[in-house]
Amino acid sequence: MDMQTAFNVAIALAGAFGGYVLKAINDAIIELRKKDDSLAIEVHQVHLLVAGSYVKREEMDKHLTAIFEALRRIEDRISTHMENEK
């Protein structure tokens, strides 16, 4: 086997190995894109689920009003109790 033939065989083997590596990388990229698409769909579904369960402003205002009324009653009782002890 002369040097030219050995060189041609080495280049062919290197090219075949490089092609195999590039094919494997390409397949991995395609698989990752598919997973990315499915994850994006799942995130969108979770986003819709969470967005539907937010507390509405009117409902929150009603709860806050009830809490502040309870705090005012507690404050009034403490004030009354403190005045009675004087």
Quote the number of domains for the chain: 2
Q: Are 63 and 29 contained in the same domain?
A: no
User: What does pTM read for this prediction?
Assistant: 0.51
CA distances (Å), origin 21, targets 15, 28, 30, 40: 10, 11, 14, 28
Rounded Cα distance, 84 and 67, in Å? 26
Q: Are 61 and 39 contained in the same domain?
A: no
Rounded Cα distance, 54 and 70, in Å? 24
Q: Are 74 and 48 contained in the same domain?
A: no
- pLDDT tens, the chain, 86 aa long: 799 999 999 999 999 999 999 999 999 999 999 999 999 999 988 887 777 777 888 999 999 999 999 999 999 999 888 887 76
Q: What is the pLDDT of residue 71?
A: 96
Q: What is the pLDDT of residue 86?
A: 66
Q: Are 7 and 21 contained in the same domain?
A: yes
Range of the domain at 80: 55-86
